[in-house]
Amino acid sequence: MMETKRILIDKNDIRDEDLLEAARILREGGLVAFPTETVYGLGANALDEEAAKKIYAAKGRPSDNPLIAHIASIDQVKPLVKEIPEAGRKLMEAYWPGPLTIIFWKSGIVPYGTTGGLDTVAIRMPSDRIANRMIALAGVPVAAPSANLSGRPSPTTADHVWEDMNGRIEMILDGGPVGIGVESTIVDVTEDVPVVLRPGAITMEMLKDLLGEVKIDPAITGPMRPDMHPKAPGMKYRHYAPKADMVLVELSDETREKLEDKEGAFVKEVEQRIADQAKCPSIRPEDYLLALEVDKLAEEAAGKGLKVGVICTDETRSEYVEDDGLFYAVRSMGIRAKEETIAHNLYRVLREFDDLGVDYIVSEGFSRTQLGQAIMNRLTKAAGHKIVKI
Ligand code: TXA
Ligand code: MG
């Protein structure tokens, strides 16, 4: 066990004197956890293979899983890559600094120890000002995966990092809770058509607007089959995993269609049930249907003696009742109509259920467009693709 220093940093008053020790640790081959706008990262010098090895050891992560090199300014890209294709240039101009990682062909100075043996390198310029200043002061690109133990939900606060990394790394920079809450979008520009390897806050819709044709790695949209080889090696692990078993409840296309006919018999029937039974009379029919099914599955599991956690939204919170002597914990992830609030709280809620010792989680599903795609990607992975369609 080493002693882990924790340094509190005020985002509105970032002083170099508070970051110089972190920069020195990084230059000397040590590990520093730091905030970014997406999740906390666990940083090491990206050009130092020995330092990269320490990251894998601290996380307990398979070392074939490549790391993202974080930079502080655009001029740091050129030395790390073979070339910057047109799509890469456009992406950098539009979305850096920000929650976007770009995969390029790597140059000779990037060690295979950082790229998990690949000839490509993932690069990201975070917008978080603490991250940016720390990287600039370190003077080297900083390799950083999320600062969690492998298999645990990504950390969105310094306390999460502390839980997982205390005693394993030299320093944690505490810059408060992160903004976005899910990891960066990853886009590979090494082929003719850019490919999204991981959805995030820079959405598919935004990428298509900017680049025209964009493909999506099949490992994102469905369960992994043994014959699939996801281009981001990290996507093959069960990742983002809570300790509990988990199931997601989603509306089927058929139900969605029926709900669209506002004057139809189906909607009228649901509205009648809401009027008769719902705790919140203004709940939307689609939200009510989800809540009913989630509650049913959760009650069944709790009845069997399992410790159950329910993930709901502010819109449906009133429909769940926590009592009857059964273990039945309910947490809202945020406002369904504002998906950024859901992304922001997602990993915190999964961690909370871990801490409560929950063994079965039932979660409401979300849209699969815009930011919903990133949210559903993380949730379906956490659930091992167990989805109930109603
Ligand atoms: O938001 C983020 O990206 C956070 C913060 C700390 O910046 N970092 C992060 O890193 O999520 P990590 O290591 O948890 O996820 C990196 C993902 C993995 O799935 C990995 O396989 C993929 O990026 N990746 C890295 N380099 C790659 C490469 N050269 N080719 C394909 N995938 C790559
Ligand atoms: Mg991670």
User: What pLDDT digit, counting tens, does each position of 283-337 carry?
Assistant: 999 999 999 999 999 999 999 999 999 999 999 999 998 766 778 899 999 999 9
The closest of 83, 157, 95 to 125, measured between CA atoms, is 95
**Distant-in-sequence, close-in-space partners of 316: CB < 8 Å, separation ≥ 6:** 283, 287, 288, 290, 291, 294, 332, 336, 364
Q: What is the mean pLDDT of residues 274-286?
A: 96
**For residue 97, how far is its CA from the centre of ligand 1 (angstroms)?**
16
Which one of the ligands is nearest to 39 CA?
1
Going by CA atoms, what residue is nearest to atom 20 of ligand 1?
Answer: 234
The closest of 182, 145, 160 to 51, measured between CA atoms, is 145
> Ligand 1: which atom is nearest the Cα of residue 101?
3
**For residue 234, how far is its CA from the centre of ligand 2 (angstroms)?**
8
What's the pTM?
Answer: 0.95
> Ligand 1: which atom is nearest the Cα of residue 183?
1
* 330-363 residues labelled b (16+ CB within 10 A) or e (exposed): bbbbbebeebbbbbbbbbbbbbbbbeeebbbbbb
Q: Are 185 and 199 in contact (CB under 8 A)?
A: yes
Tokens of 195: 């490919």
**For residue 9, how far is its CA from the centre of ligand 1 (angstroms)?**
25
Tokens of 389: 């369609």
pLDDT > 90 fraction of the chain, expressed in percent and rounded: 88
Going by CA atoms, what residue is nearest to atom 15 of ligand 1?
Answer: 145
Q: Are 182 and 38 in contact (CB under 8 A)?
A: yes
Residue 243 confidence (pLDDT): 81
List, chain by chain if needed, residues with CB within 6 Å of any ligand 1 atom. Answer: 36, 38-39, 41, 65-68, 101, 103, 115, 118, 120-122, 124, 144-146, 183-184, 186, 197, 231-235
Which one of the ligands is nearest to 41 CA?
1
Going by CA atoms, what residue is nearest to atom 22 of ligand 1?
Answer: 232
Q: Are 133 and 19 in contact (CB under 8 A)?
A: yes
Cis peptide before 97, with omega less than 30 degrees from 0? yes
Q: Are 90 and 212 in contact (CB under 8 A)?
A: no
| Cα 57 to chain centroid, rounded | 21
Rounded distance, CA 207 to CA 214, Å?
Answer: 7
> Ligand 1: which atom is nearest the Cα of residue 186?
23
Asked if the model's pLDDT at residue 271 lies above 70, the reply is: yes
What is the band of 235 on the pLDDT scale with cuts at 50, 70, 90? Answer: low
Q: How many residues appear in the chain?
A: 390
| Cα 92 to chain centroid, rounded | 21
Q: How far is CA 18 from CA 39, 174, 378, in A?
A: 21, 11, 34
Give the SS3 label for residue 262: coil
